Amino acid sequence: MMIGWLQITSGRGPEECCWVVAQLAKAIINEASAKGYKAHVLETIPGITPNIFKSALIAIEGENIPSFVSTWEGTIQWI
């Protein structure tokens, strides 16, 4: 069994970007669970508004973690 970490960050973006970090963390955890991985938030850095994050660190456990994580690497544009 492998354990990997995935960091999501809003960079220096506005609060809207922090909201996306929170939504994306939920989406990644849900997708990981659906694919048989165990995933949970290890740490967050809060934004100004409650329940949004400047960054989030997610732990993922299972087999072939690099394959799963690679689908989430790079810049995300939330529309």
Which CATH number does the domain housing residue 30 bear? 3.30.70.1660
Q: Residues 41-62: pLDDT tens digits?
A: 999 999 999 999 999 999 999 9
Residue type, position 60, single letter = I
The Cα 33–Cα 9 span in angstroms is 21
Is 78 a domain residue? Answer: no
Q: What is the pLDDT of residues 13-45, one digit of tens each?
A: 999 999 999 999 999 999 999 999 999 999 999
For the chain, the straight-line distance linking the first and the last C-alpha, in angstroms and rounded, comes to: 35
Would residue 79 count as lying in a domain? no
Domain that holds residue 37: 2-70
76 within domain boundaries: no
Grade residue 76 by pLDDT with cuts at 50, 70 and 90: confident
**Structural domain total, the chain:** 1
